[in-house]
Structure 1
Amino acid sequence: MSNIKLSSQLERSLWGLEERLIRTHIELETISEEEDRYLHRFVLISNIGASTRIENAVLTDQEIEWIDTVLTKDGKTTAFYQMKGFIADKLSKDKERSIEEVAGCREVLKTVYQQADQLFPLTESTIRGLHHDLLRYHPGSAHHSGGYKTTQNKVVSKNLATREERVVLDSAPPGIITQTAMVDLISWYNEMTGGSIKSNYPLPVPVLFIFRFLAIHPFTDGNGRFGRALFILALLQNGYDHWKSLVPFIAIDRHIEQNRPLYYSVLHKCSEGKFHQNPEKYEIEPLIWFFVKIIDSALDDIPVYRKRFVNSQKLSQTALTVLNCFKEKPENRLNVGYIIKTTGIPSRTIQYALKTLVEKEFLQRLGQGRGTRYQLVF
């Protein structure tokens, strides 16, 4: 599939998205390094949380921000093993697999954001290595991390309320068909991204890339999380400066999570639920439409993030001290009594700080009177 055929209506929408991305790129060219770091960390945590929850993990963004803070104190790869017990005890043992998934997803996304240029052209070795990193903190996956599947698997959508499962895609059979499909996919991607063949618009190639990867489903575990990380990598590698500068500020997975049923429905529609050795048989336009809307919606978040950054710069030292109480207990709803005991700050001063933090949307107030509790907003 050297050319991706698009309807005229989709082409107009793609061009409209390009214009918006370029305008936003220009608006953000002069932001400070501090704001840049703030915006990107917000997006990183949002994407980690959403991507793992799409696969049925259970940690909130507040809890993931706290985990990231704990692990950032030691950037070494051993940090997770050193801190895992502390994290698991704090967040409860029933969340242990989610913690492992978050740690792996965090490591892969950080690599993707920081080393996108060095990871092109893509190779099977690179993909296998990144997949190994995705599962490295889950002992039960050690025997198949970085290796292609040896048994048949499927893309399955699970209704979290009813526990009902629905097959979205019957993937490629294990063995030679999966291996050949991955070789073909990587070769096609490198040619379309850095070779003589170019798509007219930056978005369709990454979309078809992630769909073909998901249809192959080459690994035993982690294909969904890993495929979405590869999608971000492909957006960063497409050669357009405005995409490269903006992708770190776009919480794509957050918006996929918000549209999870539609996401799985569109994946099914693109191939009628079947892997095809000939990718020409895929109808990719519905998924391109989906991602046009997802990215357009994610761009709406940037002014919200920027406002939040400005507000954070205006917080008093007392308000910051109170806010840190919530960041230390991301899973809890705290009352004034707990904050007084923890900080030693007078009640009246804390009440004023809480009022400010609620108004600036760092906290939400729950309940009334003596039963009032506050919780961190992400």
Structure 2
Amino acid sequence: MTWIHEEAERIPLDEITVMRLHTIARGEIWDAGRYQEKDADILERYPDGRERVRFRTVPAAETPEHMALLLADWQRCLDEAWVHPLIALAAFNLDFLCIHPFRDGNGRGSRLLWLLQSYRLGYDVGRFVSLERLVEQNQERYYETLEQSSQGWHEGEND
């Protein structure tokens, strides 16, 4: 195991860590590291002024419950080997983004979590791939894929 894996193992994957990573991603903004307080679906705005819901998020009041469940399910999935850890990691990331726990910075926070989880699983992805750069270079595709992947999520009917 490399030093980065050893360091990652020392960081618990809990709500405190999620909030700390969000604070790192957002900096010294007033709500960094705090769950959103108002419901906020993700909207796409068109040049003509129209808008549509790109994807729905979890109601703000339900965010702490959903985050606690997500983190518990992640650990149970690893402990009980429900699926390969990389499949679980992708599912965790989608669930995190659908919960959308923060007012802003959810994508950046999710990618920091992805790196932490990858290192904990023994994958050195951060040494070879910049997730931030990939998203930046493929932003429209990223949002289209997120929208498609989240269809039926709130009803428990996505896979």
TM-score range, shorter chain: 0.7 to 0.9
Residue of structure 2 in register with 1:262 after alignment: 141
Superposition deviation, residue 260 in structure 1 = 1.7
Checking the alignment, whether the CA contact within 8 Å between 2:54 and 2:147 is kept in structure 1 is: yes
**Please, which of 53, 78, 94 is the counterpart of residue 167 of structure 1?**
53
> Could you tell me whether the CA contact under 8 Å between 1:228 and 1:253 is conserved in 2?
yes
In structure 1, give the amino acid aligned to 2:91: L
Q: Secondary structure of the residue that 2:76 maps to in structure 1? A: helix
Which stretches in structure 2 are left out of the alignment for 5+ residues?
Answer: none
Cα offset, 1:213, TM superposition:
0.6
**Among residues 282, 307, 331, which one is paired with 2:158 in the alignment?**
282
Deviation, structure 1 residue 152: 0.9
1:133-282 alignment to 2 at 5 Å?
Answer: 133-137=24-28, 141-142=29-30, 144-156=31-43, 167-175=53-61, 177-193=62-78, 195-200=79-84, 202-238=85-121, 240=122, 243=123, 245-272=124-151, 276=154, 280-282=156-158
Aligned to 1:118: 10
- Give the C-alpha shift of residue 246 in structure 1: 4.2
Cα RMSD, aligned residues only: 2.8
Rate the CA distance shift 1:156–1:231 in 2: closer, same or farther, 3 A: farther
Superimposed CA distance per residue, residues 121-172 of structure 1 (whole angstroms, 9 cap, x where no aligned partner): x1111112222233333xxx32x2222111011234578xx59765321100
Provide the secondary structure at the position in 2 that maps to 1:153.
coil
Distance in 2 between residues matched to 1:113 and 1:220, nearest whole Å? 30
1:286-297 to 2 correspondences below 5 Å: none
For the residue of structure 1 that corresponds to 2:10, the secondary structure is: coil
- Calculate percent identity across the aligned residue pairs: 27
CA contact (8 A) 1:271 1:281 kept: no
Helix, strand or coil: the match of 1:203? helix
Q: Relative CO higher for 1 or 2, CA cutoff 8 Å, sep ≥ 6?
A: 2
Q: Kindly indicate whether the alpha-carbon contact (under 8 Å) linking 1:154 and 1:167 is maintained by their aligned counterparts in 2.
A: yes
TM-score by length of 1: 0.37
SS at match of 1:167: strand
